[in-house]
Every structure is written in C-alpha cells, then in structure tokens.
Chains A and B, each alone.
Chain A
C-alpha cells in the first residue's frame, strides 16, 4: 500500500461550485498533515495545515480523521484561480511525504 493515496483527477468543476478532495495515509504514526498547492511547473506552496479539530481558512476547510487515516480539503465557491494541483502531505520524523496530487480545473 502506498504511503499516501490521492485521486489524481482531474476534477472539472464550474466556478462557484464546492469541491472536496480526500487523501488516505498508511502510517498511523504520522504526526502532522498539510495541504499544499502546486501550479504547473512551479514549486509547491503551503495552503494550510490540517488539525484534528478541523480548521478553516476562508473558502478552504481541512479535516483530519485519524481513526480512518484520511484528511480532506473542501473548497467552497470555487474560483478560476483555484485551478491547480493539490498535494496531500504528511510529516513523519521531520520529513515531508507527498501524495501524487489531485488536479482541479475550475471552468468559467
């Protein structure tokens, strides 16, 4: 089983839609979780950390389910500028492990 599994997509949604991504991880000892955003041919950039209690940053909501070993990202009111690849990332012993990424394409 892969350490991190994500549906690569692409997810094609219209502007204003709500879209959710899930990501499962296999290492129950994983300590920290993040969502990164990567634009085409660019470096990844931290979107938000993921906390057990769930956290929200504007239109973005992230949740962690340790029992089922997955994290999720919800994007409300999608904008064209949200089009990117969203990487699920977890940290174990200080190293970041990246998922393959889920590609989101927001259409006008």
Chain B
C-alpha cells in the first residue's frame, strides 16, 4: 500500500528553538496533506490542511505564524514549529491523500519534546 514517511520520528529541543518535521509520500503524489497533533490520551486534532502550491488552511485556534507549513512539491510537506515551548510538546502526525483516491495514509508520527 501507499507509504507516507515522517522525519524525524522523535526530537528533543530546547525552549525557543525551531523544529522542522518532514512528511513525504513515497510512492504517490499527494495533492493534499493534513497535519494533526495528539496530546496524551486525547484525540488527534487537525491543525491544518496543506495543498501543494498554495497556502495552508489552518483550523481555528492554530497559530499560522507559529506552525509554518510548506507544501512545495507533490511529495513533500513540512511543518515548522517556531520558537517551540514546552506546551508544544506533542505527537505530530501527517497524512496524505492521493488525488482522486479516497483513503488517507498516515506518517509514523513525530514525537516532539521541548525542554
């Protein structure tokens, strides 16, 4: 089946630094990618929808200047957490959908810990 790869799978950083997470569709072209965040024992919360070649659409309450999303190609979307703080520590998961195909494929997730 289709594969979506996320990198890094885990990262620990100091407060105030920026962290970039990559999401790649390995064997299909993803016109749309979604970024989710999941806190412990909570559901996945959609942060933003990323469309190739256009600006991301952010969900209510998600700061677009803090969570920068770039979807420059049909196989890569990046999420940059700028000036990360401990409350940004979470499990970030991307998902991708191939054009014309309904199923959504998830990356393995990236666990961010901000000290």
Interfacial residues, chain A to chain B (CB-CB below 8 A) = 4, 8, 32, 41-46, 87, 94-101
Q: Which of B45, B49, B93 contacts A43 (CB 8 A)?
A: B93
Q: Interface stretch among B13-21, B77-85, B103-111?
A: B103-111
Q: A87 contacts B34, CB within 8 Å?
A: no
Given contacts A44-B93, A95-B34, A99-B43, 17 further A-B pairs with CB under 8 A are: A41-B109, A41-B111, A42-B109, A43-B93, A43-B106, A43-B107, A43-B108, A44-B44, A45-B106, A87-B43, A94-B49, A96-B34, A96-B46, A96-B104, A97-B46, A98-B36, A100-B41
Instruction: Please indicate which of the listed interface residues B32, B43, B107 has the most CB atoms of chain A within 10 Å of its own CB.
Output: B43
**What is the bound-complex CA distance between A41 and B106, given in angstroms?**
13
Provide a sorted-by-A list of 13 A–B residue pairs whose CB atoms are within 8 angstroms: A32-B102, A42-B108, A43-B106, A43-B108, A44-B93, A44-B106, A87-B44, A96-B46, A97-B46, A98-B36, A98-B43, A99-B43, A100-B43
Size of the B side of the interface (Cβ < 8 Å), in residues, is 21
Interfacial residues, chain B to chain A (CB-CB below 8 A) = 32, 34, 36, 41-46, 49, 91, 93, 95, 102-104, 106-109, 111
Q: A94 contacts B103, CB within 8 Å?
A: no
B34: chain A residues at CB < 8 Å are 95-96
Q: A8 contacts B106, CB within 8 Å?
A: no
Closest chain-A Cβ to B103's Cβ sits at a distance in Å of 7
B106: chain A residues at CB < 8 Å are 43-45
